[in-house]
Amino acid sequence: MQIQPNRRQFLRTAGQGFLAAAAIGNGLCPTWADSKESAGGGLIYHTEVPPNAEPPIEELVKTWITPEKFFYVRSHAASPQIDADQFRLKIEGMVNHPGEISLKELMDKYPSKTVIASMTCAGNRRNEHSAVRAVDGVQWQSQAIGNASWTGIPLSEVLKAVGVQPDAKHVWFEGLDEIKKKGKTIGFGGSIPLSKAMDDTEAMPGALLTHKMNGLPLTPDHGYPLRTVVPGYIGARSVKWLGKIVVSNRTMPNHYVQDAYKLVEENTPTAWAEAGPLYRYPMNCGIARIASRSTDTQELMEVTGYALPPGNGRTLKRVEVSVNGGRSWQVAKFEREPDPYVWSLWKLEIPVRSIRGIVYARAVDSAGEAMPERVDWNMKGYMFNSWYRKAYNLRSL
Ligand SMILES: Nc1nc2c(c(=O)[nH]1)N[C@H]1C(S)=C(S)[C@@H](COP(=O)(O)O)O[C@H]1N2
Ligand SMILES: [Mo]
């Protein structure tokens, strides 16, 4: 892959030290997201190979559906180039009719469904965990999230057709990418409970064997020709370049199910063995912009951002914004009626009380649960979802 500086800008996150890390994303110092260079569009790359990139937050919240060019990319190895004509999806394990199926057969045999669902990486906002105590891995800001339409075949349809055996409990997904791990080459793997795979509603399948994103074939970076999309689950369960499905009575032995994507606070084999795999993502939000606007009578501060409902199927009830450190909160306006599994864009206009300060945002779900003020640190820096904090200085805007 060629580095093209105009389209692919790099984040300088390595070696910035604690102070820089603490300031990232809270507006205390200018970051790449504020730079003119990045305003033209496209993603900003943390690493080029493998591709790990997120959009500038101002671009991300411009549209409810995230265009592919602003949809984050998170990959553990280079994107494999797969010939869709030669491609066969294998189905094995505790099924009555194991075998393989071409993409064409899959699409001819089963009707496709299109749904809109948000996807987010478990590592979204990792830089805020790192500000507490350094965490390895891609230092995501708050844009490892996107909302797209996905077209594909509900996994449940295929499982019904191949006949799942009675003791089966999990469905494994294996990617065709080649990741070097401890001297071996492995495909990225994710597994989900069989019950989730079968949990379709009229509006949302439990899991979708996806071949189109926003109405177009998947791009190589997003899993061409086939990936899973698992609404409500962390992005890691939406396996790209899907090559094999295995039905089993246990979770997948793959590294990315057993030794990653778990909440572990001390790095011991026992702690890793005891923790269960992460599935649902937590409710979250981000502030994209704080700007001022004058009317005839007053100065207004306009705050915009996104919010994601929790992956358990609840909707967002409201997004709240505080300009006094969380002592009182004002309710933001949603751009559209919230739905489960999809994010909402929001906006709030409030009279300016001070030129400089800190704005907090938090989301509240339909059961009345709010995003927490603080979250516990964990080894891998997953699931950061405390109140979103952004500093502003209206004089410098
Ligand atoms: N085969 C494969 N699938 C994968 C990954 C990967 O590295 N390889 N990364 C996962 C992770 S951690 C996330 S967050 C999502 C990101 O999907 P995207 O790159 O389309 O945004 O893909 C998931 N599926
Ligand atoms: Mo992820």
Tens-digit pLDDT profile for residues 302-311: 999 999 999 9
User: Among 238, 244, 252, 262, which is best to mutate for testing ligand 1, by the most ligand atoms less than 8 A from CB?
Assistant: 238
Domains of the chain: 14-274 (3.90.420.10), 284-396 (2.60.40.650)
Write a three-state SS string for 231-264.
CCECHHHCCCCEEEEEEECCCCCCHHHHCCCCCC
Nearest to residue 80, comparing CAs of 176, 173, 209?
176
Question: DSSP state, 17?
Answer: H
Ligand 1 neighbourhood includes 241 CB (under 6 angstroms) = yes
E strand or H helix that includes residue 19: helix 17-23
Give me the pLDDT at residue 397, please.
61
3-state secondary structure of 148: strand
Percentage helix, strand, coil, to 5, in the chain? 15, 35, 50
Q: Is residue 124 predicted with pLDDT exceeding 90?
A: yes
Q: Is residue 145 predicted with pLDDT exceeding 70?
A: yes
- In this structure, what token pair is assigned to residue 92? 């094995």
C-beta separation of 224 from 68 below 8 A: no
- In this structure, what token pair is assigned to residue 223? 């899993």
Ligand 1 neighbourhood includes 79 CB (under 6 angstroms) = no
Q: Is residue 342 predicted with pLDDT exceeding 90?
A: yes
Q: Among all ligands shown, which has an atom nearest to the Cα of 73?
A: 1
* Tens digits of residue pLDDT in 61-70: 999 999 999 9
Q: Is residue 40 predicted with pLDDT exceeding 50?
A: no
Q: Among all ligands shown, which has an atom nearest to the Cα of 237?
A: 1
* Cα(198)–Cα(193) distance, integer angstroms: 9
Rounded to an integer, the average pLDDT of 183-202 is 97
Sign of the C-alpha dihedral computed for residues 230, 232, 255 and 220 taken in this order: positive
Rounded to an integer, the average pLDDT of 330-358 is 97
Region of residue 17 (left: phi > 0; alpha: psi -120 to 50; beta: else): left
Q: Whose CA is nearest to atom 20 of ligand 1?
A: 222
Q: How confident is the model at residue 395 (pLDDT cuts 50, 70, 90)?
A: confident
Cis peptide, bond prior to residue 282, ω within 30 of zero: no
Rounded to an integer, the average pLDDT of 384-388 is 98
Q: Is residue 119 predicted with pLDDT exceeding 60?
A: yes
Q: Whose CA is nearest to atom 15 of ligand 1?
A: 235
Atom of ligand 1 nearest to the CA of 74: 19
Ligand 1 neighbourhood includes 59 CB (under 6 angstroms) = no
Atom of ligand 1 nearest to the CA of 72: 21
Contacts of 368 (CB under 8 A, 6+ apart): 317
Whole-number Å distance, alpha carbon 354 to ligand 2 midpoint, is 38
Rounded to an integer, the average pLDDT of 310-318 is 98
If one compares 8 and 323, the residue with the highest pLDDT of the two is 323
Q: What is the mean pLDDT of the chain?
A: 91
Q: How confident is the model at residue 32 (pLDDT cuts 50, 70, 90)?
A: very low
User: Among 46, 52, 66, 74, which is best to mutate for testing ligand 1, by the most ligand atoms less than 8 A from CB?
Assistant: 74
Whole-number Å distance, alpha carbon 141 to ligand 2 midpoint, is 13
Nearest to residue 137, comparing CAs of 186, 74, 229, 222?
74
Q: Is residue 93 predicted with pLDDT exceeding 90?
A: yes
* Tens digits of residue pLDDT in 50-59: 999 999 999 9
